[in-house]
Structure 1
Amino acid sequence: MDWDKLRIFHAVADAGSLTHAGERLNLSQSAVSRQIRALEEGLNSTLFHRHARGLILTEQGELLFDATRAMTKRLEAAAARIRDSEEEVFGVLKVTTTTGFGTLWLAPRLTKLYDKYPDLKIDLMLEERVLDLPMREADVAIRMKEPSQADLIRKRLMTVQMQLYASQDYLRRHGTPEDIADIADHRLICQTPSAPQVGAGALMVQQLMANNPHSLLSVNNYFGVLQGVLHDLGIGALPDYLTEDFPHLVRVLPEIESGEVPVFLAYPEELRHSKRISAFRDFVQDEIISHRKQLRQLGKI
């Protein structure tokens, strides 16, 4: 099968338009159209339904697009490995992690990585959905459980626990709870029960909800929970990795905490020798060592 025709087909399928695909490829609309017709004739199959607003893939077109998408991701992986020189770290590194960990722990520390590797470009994708690393939806992931996908290199980084925190001003106005039953006199701030989250955190919140908090604020990520706590709205269920960066928060009901949640770093086997992956992995490990040292100095571990 002709690689040029497949490349053009992929651009058209991705753009949904001959004109837009031609602009991406620096080809005229007529040239793109001729290549698509030739590909359809060679396959003896119609790949697009044509209508006034653009192009829609046929069932056969969807099958071919799945194949070209996989090919494109593999080629991107190969190109990334080729671009990684023996001494330099540069280019785009696609990193995925949860919204909470990415906004509250990882992003604030990236200055150190950029200082060391100014030519590195980080594409940070924050979402609870687990992206497909072997299919190159991302290059490297930090997740709150061990990845189950095959052909991945995994490294356990640390463990986190969900604990309860409040601001000093909130506690001055509303008092400090002495036991879990006192939650009935306070506003609980937690992640929305229906939102994707680690099971250990959900179980802790269920335990608290059973004690009928006076009021409730639920948010679909821990960044929102933290903002509620910082603005004196109530007692929040938050991950313990925040204690270094927000030392003025007060931990309440210290006997109430979740089970330990493992944090894993993972990346595809085929990127084992990537300089960008190595640089990012080493940076994260160094930051965790520094994080734990700070916690020891604060008497938190």
Structure 2
Amino acid sequence: MDWDKLRIFHAVADAGSLTHAGETLHLSQSAVSRQIRALEESLSTILFHRHARGLILTEQGELLFDATKSMSRRLDAASARIKDSAEEVFGELKVTTTTGFGTLWLAPRLPALYEKYPDLNIDLMLEERVLDLPMREADVAIRMKEPSQADLIRKKLMTVRMRLYASQAYLDRVGTLEHMEDIGKHRLICQSPSAFQVAAGATLVEQLLAHDKPNLLHVNNYFGVLQAVLSDLGIGVMPDYVIEDFPNLVRVLPEVESGEVPVFLAYPEELRQSKRIMAFRDFVQDEIIAHRRRIRDGESVLG
């Protein structure tokens, strides 16, 4: 199959117009039309339905477009990886992590990364969906479990536990929670059971709800839980790393916490030599070490 014709077909299918595709490819509309007709003849099928408002893919056209989209992604990934092996620390780096970790831990620390590498541009994608790193949906990921995708370099950064926190103003108004059995006297702020979350956090909430059922406020990410706690609405189930940046929060029921949640950094094997990846990896590791030291020193002072 002619690669050049496939490239033109992909542009037409993507644009839905011969004219717009021609502008993208720097070809005349007639030249694009001839290539599409030649491709249809070589495949003995019709790829587009033509009407006054543009072009619509036929069933056969949809099949071919799926194939060319996959080819395009792979070519883009290969091109980026070739560049990554030689470039210095500048340009775009696509980072994906969860909404909670990205907003509460990573984003507040990015100024230090930009100060060190001012020409680096971070595209921070915060979502619970696990993006496909080998297909270059992102360059590097920080996830709350060990990645299962093949051909990834992965490093365990730290462990997190879910704990209970409240504002002093809330506790002054409603009263301190001294026993888990008294949870029914309070409002519990946690992720919705239907929201994606780490299993350890969901298990802790189940344990709390096994007692007298409290008034509930469900939020679909930990950033929202934190904002509700800071607004004196109740007792929040949140990851323990929030306490460094919000030291005025009060830990409730210190003996109650979830099991350990591992935090992993991962990136494709092909990006092992990427200067941008190495810079980001080293930055995160250094920040984790500093974070642990500050938490440890704070606990020593309290002790």
Match of 1:205 in 2: 205
1:68-122 residue CA offsets vs partner (Å, 9 max, x unmatched): 2222222222222332365621222111111111111111111111122222221
Partners in 1 of 2:211 and 2:197 — Cα distance?
21
1:102 aligns with 2:106: no
**Which residue number corresponds to residue 168 of structure 1?**
168
Counterparts in 2 of 1:65 and 1:172: CA distance versus 1, 3 Å: same
- The code of the aligned residue for 1:115 comes to E
Partner amino acid, structure 1, of 2:56: I
- In structure 1, the partner of 2:249 is 249
Structure 1 residues 61 and 253: CA distance shift in structure 2, 3 A: same
C-alpha contact (below 8 Å) 2:189/2:217 kept by paired residues: yes
AA paired with 1:18?
L
Q: 1:236 to 1:279 in 2, by over 3 A?
A: same
CA distance in structure 2 between the partners assigned to 1:51 and 1:164 by the alignment: 61
Offset of residue 63 of structure 1: 2.9
Work out the CA distance in 2 between the residues paired with 1:175 and 1:77.
Answer: 56
CA separation in 1, counterparts of 2:217 and 2:48?
48
Partners of 1:240 and 1:219 lie apart in 2 by 17
The superposition leaves residues 28-52 of structure 1 with CA deviations (integer Å, 9 ceiling, x where unpaired) of 4444333322222222232233445
Answer whether contact 1:77 1:271 (CA < 8 A) is retained: no
Greater mean alpha carbon deviation, residues 82-91 or residues 222-231? 82-91
CA contact 1:141–1:267 (8 Å) conserved in 2 = yes
Q: CA deviation at 1:173?
A: 0.7
**Which letter does structure 1 place at the counterpart of 2:135?**
M
Deviation of 1:181 after TM superposition, in Å, equals 1.2
- 2:67 corresponds to: 67
State the one-letter code of the partner of 2:83.
R
Q: How does 1:20-169 map to 2 (within 5 A)?
A: 20-84=20-84, 86=86, 88-169=88-169
Output the amino acid matched with 1:294: R
Q: TM-score, normalised by structure 2?
A: 0.92
CA distance in 1: counterparts of 2:38 and 2:283, whole angstroms: 50
- The one-letter code matched in structure 2 to 1:226 is L
CA contact (8 A) 2:182 2:212 kept: no
Query: Relative to structure 2, which stretch is displaced further, 61-70 or 228-237?
Result: 61-70
Cα gap change, 1:45 to 1:212, in 2 (>3 Å): farther
1:217 and 2:217 correspond: yes
Distance apart, 1:257 and its partner CA = 1.0
% of aligned pairs identical? 79
Residue 152 to residue 85, structure 1, CA distance change in 2 (3 Å): closer
Query: What secondary structure, in the 3-state scheme, does the structure 2 residue paired with 1:202 have?
Result: helix
* 5+ long unaligned stretches in structure 1: none
Judge conservation of contact 1:81–1:273 (CA < 8 Å) in 2.
no
Give the corresponding residue for 1:192.
192
Deviations 1:222-274 (A, max 9, x none): 11111100111100000111111111111101121111111111111111211
Q: Does 1:180 align with 2:180?
A: yes
CA–CA distance in 1 between the matches of 2:144 and 2:53?
Answer: 43
Q: Report which stretch shifted further, 180-189 or 60-69.
A: 60-69
Instruction: Give the aligned partner of residue 240 of structure 2.
Output: 240
Task: Please give the secondary structure, in 1, of the residue aligned with 2:299.
Answer: coil
CA distance in 2, matches of 1:279, 1:151: 20
For structure 2, the residue ranges without an aligned partner over 5 or more in a row are none
Change in 2 beyond 3 A, CA 1:123/1:36: farther
Distance of aligned partners of 1:282 and 1:232 in 2 relative to their CA distance in 1, 3 Å threshold: same
Q: CA RMSD in A?
A: 2.1
Pick closer, same or farther for the CA change 1:177–1:59 going to 2, 3 Å: same
- Is contact 1:22-1:29 (8 Å) kept? yes
Distance in 2 between residues matched to 1:123 and 1:45, nearest whole Å: 41
Query: Contact 1:94–1:122 at 8 Å: present in 2 too?
Result: yes
Q: Is the 8 A contact 2:86 2:274 kept in 1?
A: no
Alignment partner of 1:193: what SS? coil
